[in-house]
């Protein structure tokens, strides 16, 4: 007899679903409940009794464990979770995710994923249309870093197809260009692909955090003069910290001049393309060769949902990554082999990441997404205006996007900007407020230094269920937590 039969198993799943509904989705999104139940690691380990043992446990004990996991996990769907760009919840997306898990298939061949092979193609087509491409290629990847790495590898393959078989050995030094405010995945990717982090040339940004095209042009020329081979420019649409948008049109001119692959890391900002009002921020994106776009961020599709989009129509993606495994991609199948998309990927097993986005898109339509994006901009604007009405909130800069970066100046420090240790003291404010908010569980927001700017908060405003009341609470709470500092 099996250890668990279908009936018993389905009963357990049903009970788990009830706990999820109650603890994660009702209480977990209710402002009367905490966003986190902070425990020190040692205490939490004891509470969870994590140890894996020889014998199994009865169902009621396991349900208690489900309850505990829910209880001590961060409520990322809570209106007061503003810590990162994956907060909030979309129920249609979540329904798509549950269905994905239950169907448990693998997006590599039409025979095991007929619905999802067709669906992924359609979703990628929809995203590409917003970029401005009627044709092209693409793939969902396990996160934006992977999408960026894919772009890098495909660009390298286009410049030097022999790299696939012969490797980099014997080739000249390759150079990648990206701004100082770009995401760290560009460097991680360069290291992983054997290009090396020193070969990622950092381009300067303007006061708003946008790449300076003239500096890019100069650094490309300099790199060439030093014997390197520039091949890839990674622009950013929506930088992680400040939410800046690189001037794509001007960068495209530089890339065309030097014949470099232009990649746009729009993991965060890509969703702005839905909005007629704000899509100008990505003006010129259609001139890129590739775009990374994470609907798990601003569109609240849920982790993971990252699309790599390509303008290419010459099957570069497959040529670059294929290995033609005969056990999976048999050539004597009874259907069109182009539907076996697995060989476009460097993964073998690949999760289905398109259904959640597709179902959500069907539910709200492109217009609905546009409204959400516009609303997020408005909310950010509201937050900025409220900050300006209060003492103690100093904006890092006027936001270009929905990242609102600011210092909170505690009452004791106000008007004392001239003091010698002012910056040192200011640097310590955000970490203390952060510790307090987490230990009290009232909200979560991130902070970081940037260049010579000491620790400041970064509020990201995008969850469709966020209200002005939540913004007001946020400001009140920062004041409350920092008033004695």
Interface residue with a copy of itself among 132, 159, 192, 258 (CB under 8 A) is 192
Asked whether position 214 contacts a copy of itself by CB under 8 A, the answer is no
Asked whether position 372 contacts a copy of itself by CB under 8 A, the answer is yes
Q: Site residues for a copy of itself, window 47-66 (CB under 8 A)? A: 48, 50-57, 62, 65-66
Evaluate whether 93 touches 302 at the Cβ level (below 8 Å).
yes
Evaluate whether 36 touches 70 at the Cβ level (below 8 Å).
no
d(CA 274, CA 100): 25
Report which of 291, 297, 255 is spatially closest to residue 130, judged by C-alpha positions: 291
Q: What is the dihedral of CA 62, 63, 65, 68, to 10 degrees?
A: -170
Asked whether position 440 contacts a copy of itself by CB under 8 A, the answer is no
Query: Which segment (179-187, 245-253, 415-423, 475-483) binds a copy of itself by CB under 8 A?
Result: 179-187
Asked whether position 16 contacts a copy of itself by CB under 8 A, the answer is yes
Instruction: Please tell me whether the peptide bond between 206 and the residue prior to it is cis, using omega within 30 degrees of 0.
Output: no
d(CA 389, CA 393): 9
Evaluate whether 282 touches 235 at the Cβ level (below 8 Å).
no
Asked whether position 484 contacts a copy of itself by CB under 8 A, the answer is no
Asked whether position 271 contacts a copy of itself by CB under 8 A, the answer is no
Interface residue with a copy of itself among 34, 78, 82, 89 (CB under 8 A) is 89
For the chain, the distance separating the N- and C-terminal CA atoms, rounded to the nearest angstrom, is: 64
- Residue 222 CB, nearest distance to a copy of itself (Å)? 18
- Residue 293 CB, nearest distance to a copy of itself (Å)? 13
Q: Burial, 62: exposed, middle or buried (Cβ in 10 Å; 0-12, 13-18, 19+)? A: middle
d(CA 477, CA 427): 19
Asked whether position 122 contacts a copy of itself by CB under 8 A, the answer is yes
The pair phi, psi for residue 438, each rounded to 5°, is: -75, -40
d(CA 164, CA 157): 7
Asked whether position 445 contacts a copy of itself by CB under 8 A, the answer is no
Asked whether position 202 contacts a copy of itself by CB under 8 A, the answer is no
CB atoms within 10 A of CB 246: 34
Q: Site residues for a copy of itself, window 393-412 (CB under 8 A)? A: none
Query: Which segment (74-82, 211-219, 376-384, 391-399) binds a copy of itself by CB under 8 A?
Result: 74-82
| Pairing outcome for strands 444-450 and 81-82 | parallel
Smaller CB separation from a copy of itself, 10 or 388: 10
- Residue 467 CB, nearest distance to a copy of itself (Å)? 9
d(CA 205, CA 211): 4
Interface residue with a copy of itself among 24, 251, 281, 285 (CB under 8 A) is 24
Task: Tell me the angle at which helices 468-482 and 422-440 cross, rounded to the nearest 10 degrees.
Answer: 120
Report which of 52, 53, 59 is spatially closest to residue 3, judged by C-alpha positions: 59
* Residues listed for the chain: 485
Task: Tell me the angle at which helices 185-192 and 144-159 cross, rounded to the nearest 10 degrees.
Answer: 50
Interface residue with a copy of itself among 355, 376, 383, 387 (CB under 8 A) is 355
Interface residue with a copy of itself among 220, 413, 438, 471 (CB under 8 A) is 438
- Residue 166 CB, nearest distance to a copy of itself (Å)? 5
Q: Site residues for a copy of itself, window 136-165 (CB under 8 A)? A: 142-146, 149, 153, 156, 163-165
Asked whether position 193 contacts a copy of itself by CB under 8 A, the answer is yes
Q: Site residues for a copy of itself, window 296-335 (CB under 8 A)? A: 296, 302-304, 306, 320-321, 323-328, 330, 332-335
- Residue 283 CB, nearest distance to a copy of itself (Å)? 22
- Residue 414 CB, nearest distance to a copy of itself (Å)? 22
Asked whether position 70 contacts a copy of itself by CB under 8 A, the answer is yes
Asked whether position 347 contacts a copy of itself by CB under 8 A, the answer is yes
């Amino acid at each position: 007899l099996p250890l668990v039969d279908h009936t018993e198993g389905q009963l357990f799943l049903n009970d788990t679903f009830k706990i999820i509904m109650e603890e994660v989705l009702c209480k977990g999104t209710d402002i009367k409940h905490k966003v986190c139940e902070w425990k020190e690691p040692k205490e939490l380990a004891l509470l969870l009794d994590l140890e894996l043992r020889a014998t199994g446990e009865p169902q009621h004990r396991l349900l208690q464990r489900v309850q505990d996991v829910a209880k001590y996990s961060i409520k990322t769907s809570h209106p007061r979770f503003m810590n990162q760009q994956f907060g909030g919840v979309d129920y249609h997306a979540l329904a798509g995710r549950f269905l994905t898990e239950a169907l448990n298939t693998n997006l590599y061949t039409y025979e095991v994923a007929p619905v999802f092979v067709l669906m992924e193609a359609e979703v990628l087509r929809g995203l590409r249309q917003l970029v401005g491409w009627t044709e092209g290629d693409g793939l969902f990847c396990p996160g934006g870093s992977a999408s960026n790495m894919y772009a890098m590898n495909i660009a390298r393959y286009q410049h030097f197809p022999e790299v696939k078989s012969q490797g980099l050995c014997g080739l000249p030094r390759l150079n990648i260009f990206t701004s100082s405010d770009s995401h760290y995945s560009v460097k991680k990717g360069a290291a992983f692909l054997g290009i090396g982090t020193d070969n990622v040339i950092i381009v300067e940004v303007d006061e708003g955090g946008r790449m300076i095209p003239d500096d890019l042009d100069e650094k490309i020329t300099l790199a060439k003069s030093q014997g390197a081979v520039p091949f890839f420019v990674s622009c950013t649409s929506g930088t992680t910290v400040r939410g800046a948008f690189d001037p794509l049109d001007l960068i495209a001119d530089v890339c065309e001049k030097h014949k470099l692959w232009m990649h746009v890391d729009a993991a965060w900002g890509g969703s702005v393309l839905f909005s007629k009002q704000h899509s100008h921020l990505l003006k010129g994106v259609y001139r890129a060769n590739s775009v990374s776009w994470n609907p798990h961020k601003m569109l609240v599709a849920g982790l993971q949902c990252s699309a790599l989009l390509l303008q290419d129509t010459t099957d570069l993606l497959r040529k670059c990554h294929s290995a033609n495994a005969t056990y999976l991609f048999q050539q004597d199948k009874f259907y069109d082999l182009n539907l076996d998309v697995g060989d476009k990927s460097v993964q073998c097993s690949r999760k289905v990441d398109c259904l959640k986005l597709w179902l959500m898109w069907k539910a709200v339509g492109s217009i609905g997404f546009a409204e959400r994006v516009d609303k997020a901009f408005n909310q950010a604007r509201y937050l900025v205006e409220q900050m300006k009405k209060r003492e103690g909130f100093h904006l890092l800069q006027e936001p270009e996007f929905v990242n609102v970066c600011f210092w909170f100046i505690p009452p004791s420090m106000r008007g004392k900007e001239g003091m010698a240790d002012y910056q040192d003291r200011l640097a310590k404010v955000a970490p203390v407020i952060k510790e307090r908010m987490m230990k009290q569980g009232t909200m979560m927001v991130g902070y970081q230094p940037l260049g010579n700017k000491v620790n400041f908060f970064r509020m990201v405003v995008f969850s469709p269920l966020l209200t002005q009341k939540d913004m007001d609470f946020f400001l009140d709470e920062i004041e409350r937590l920092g008033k004695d500092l």
